[in-house]
Structure 1
Amino acid sequence: MEKQRYKQERLDHQSFDSFPVLLTPLAIEVHAARLYTRSLFIRIQKEIIAGSWLCSIKSKISEEGSDISIISEELIIPDSMPDATEINKAEDSDDEVEEIDLYKKSTREYKVLHNRSDDSVVCCCQLFVRCGILCRHVFCVFKNFNVQKILHQYLLKRWTRDLIPPGLRRKKNRYGEKNENISNLFVQATSLVDDCCQILRNDEPKLS
């Protein structure tokens, strides 16, 4: 239980007392950073980046208040590295040096249905259904339609920072205590120490 509490407090510190580095100028990334826990935000951030740089809308059809977008995703596949013999042979040759490809590119297409009335989206990759997070194809559509916030229906409570109430996070319950007075004093003392640490969290000399 102590190991679990320590891990929980460490993760809470990452989520509440620091702000992650943003890698795009998109407002939806800022919104995600404020809502998700740090570990989940990193996963969401990867999808946002991939949706911005690796995905593009190939075609779009509008019908009855909805848009059906065909998303083209560029896949980068590392190629086998050339050995030293091939490189030396190319350097010694008087002919024009052939360009060495370090990776190959391929594309896949995905269909995203976007309802303009409520900004709801459905992607054929079904990442949200399987894992509970939006995929890069949806973020590509959001970027195209200038959607700046992740909609409430796509914010699963278990991924958000406020899943555990603040009062419960601060409580220092200890199991196995036989003396209730000692247990209450212990909780009060640790709570006071936590309060002091929070006040001085940015003052290194006083914390020292």
Structure 2
Amino acid sequence: MLQVVPMVFTESRHRLCMWHIMKKLPSKISADVLDNTDLRSCIHPLVWNVYIKPETFESRWNDLLQTFGLQDHSWLNDMYNIKHLWVPAYFRELPMCCLMKTTSRCESSNAAFKVNSTSANTLVQFMMCFENRVDSQRYRQRVSEFKTSSTMFTGSTDLAIEQHAFAIYTNVVFAQVQKEIIKGKFLCYITNQSETSDSSLLIDVTHLDKRNNITNVYQVTYNNVDQSASCSCRNFIRIRYLCRHVFCVYRLKNVERIPPQYINDRWRRDALPKHVFSISSRYRVNPHAPSVMRNEILDLVTECVDVARTDEDALAKLVDQLRDFKINVLSRQPLSTTENESNESQMEEIVGQPINIPVEVANPDVARNKGCGTHTRISGPGEKAKAKPPKRPKQLRLCKRCGLYVDDHDSRNCLKVAAMKAAKAAAEQQRQSATGD
């Protein structure tokens, strides 16, 4: 694959799975070194670090080998020779957009289709399983879209840029961006500023860990004209959303909105067109003109609500217009029953809540609850259809021989038993007499 992929996919970059390489660590290094030292806790943060430069990785790698005396370890030296194929420090310049560090993408796809299909299926069966899987994926997408559009903003900081990020990103991406904003406020601070010849600022941002220990210092280039910023950690190039160091600079410069050039379209709330979630795209609808217009009205109202979800004035204006339209429709002359029900259903679809219209309804028959008194309650059809056995008389017991409730005998001394014994004795006596003759 290492030789063929560049020949066939000329624009691609072949990389090795980091998870599989690190999984071999216990089998390649002796248990005495791995269990009795801090090698595991030191090598993982170094290898999986996405912020350091290649030069920093190489120096820290050599220091790690010297600390644990592994300079002559063959497997570690082999992995170091191909470090450009699996260490993220060497991918900093590539716009890989949420780099998959493992083979989980293809493995998850294979597992998804194996749940609904097998290798023994015919082509028709495979297509049916494929449609089921696609429908399940579309359903999860609709659920995610609903959660994104219905979730209310709960900020963790007092920064206006956090609310702007919530308004443009989906829930999943906003959770990641929010972490960067929070860490940019509490775990980063500016140590030095200097101006350049092109009216830009070179700002040094110190990065702290959870224990408030300095981990690294990054340089952010900030332009005062268009509010553009680039960080030496290359987070935006790699993942396509801003890092904590840029948000730290934006907090210093009182930038309240993320610049448009740093908003990736694939992370937006409105990345998918709204007609994908329309009723006509999901269900089989009535082709008649009134039904088509009703569905179009629902789609338009939904789209207006999504567009104005963060604008309180626009939402208030939309509510007033819908209320006026509702009043105008209900103030018409009385219509026939069919037309009235049709208009009522249309208004319920438009407004999104039931419309209460006074209707004279007769009082229902009162039925007493079970156990509330001695009156006979109303029996249901299930109780009427079920055949009930006769009630057992008091102080009587069932004789299993004659099947009667009696109080003078039981199955041991029943008359049937006595009659059977007498008949058996008579038959035996008759047989003996016949034998004697």
Q: TM exceeds 0.5?
A: yes
Aligned match of 1:60: 193
Aligned residue type for 2:144: L
**What is the CA–CA distance in structure 2 between the aligned matches of 1:104 and 1:127, rounded to whole Å?**
21
Where 1:70 maps in the other structure, the secondary structure is strand
Identify the structure with the greater strand proportion.
1
SS across alignment from 1:40:
helix
Give how far 1:40 is off.
0.3
Shift, 1:75, TM fit: 1.2
In the alignment, which residue of structure 2 is the partner of 1:163? 271
Q: Which has the larger radius of gyration?
A: 2
Q: Does the 8 Å CA contact 1:44/1:134 hold for their aligned counterparts? A: yes
Aligned partners of 2:206 and 2:216 also within 8 Å: yes
Provide closer, same or farther for how the CA distance between residues 163 and 104 of structure 1 changes in structure 2, counting only shifts above 3 A.
closer
Q: Give the aligned partner of residue 32 of structure 1.
A: 165
- The residue type paired with residue 209 of structure 2 is L
The residue number in structure 2 matching 1:123 is: 231
Cα distance in 1 for residues equivalent to 2:259 and 2:171: 19
Structure 1 unmatched ranges of 5 or more = 77-102, 175-181, 201-208
Q: Which amino acid aligns with 1:36?
A: Y
Counterparts of 1:167 and 1:33 in 2: how far apart (Å)? 23
Q: CA deviation at 1:173?
A: 3.7
Q: Secondary structure at the match of 1:51?
A: helix
Residues 42-121 of structure 1 aligned to structure 2 (within 5 Å): 42-64=175-197, 65-76=199-210, 105-121=213-229
Q: Identity over aligned residues, as a percent?
A: 33
Separation in 2 of the partners of 1:199 and 1:45?
Answer: 33
Query: 1:93 maps to which residue?
Result: none
CA RMSD, aligned part only?
Answer: 2.7
CA deviation vs aligned residue, 1:38-69 (integer Å, no higher than 9, x gap): 00000000000000000000101012310000
Report deviation, 1:167.
Answer: 1.9
Where 1:5 maps in the other structure, the secondary structure is: helix
Gaps of 5+ in 2: 1-133, 303-347, 354-437
Match of 2:249 in 1: 141
> Could you tell me how far apart the structure 2 residues matched to 1:118 and 1:135 are?
18
Task: Tell me: higher relative CO, structure 1 or 2? Use CA pairs within 8 A at least 6 residues apart.
Answer: 1
> Does the 8 A contact of 2:204 with 2:217 survive in 1?
yes
Tell me if the contact between 1:54 and 1:74 (Cα under 8 Å) persists in the aligned partners. Answer: yes
TM-score w.r.t. length of structure 1: 0.71
Amino acid at match of 1:163: A
State how far apart, in whole Å, the 2-side matches of 1:133 and 1:31 are: 14
After superposition, the C-alpha distances for 1:79-102 in whole angstroms (9 at most, x for unaligned) are: xxxxxxxxxxxxxxxxxxxxxxxx
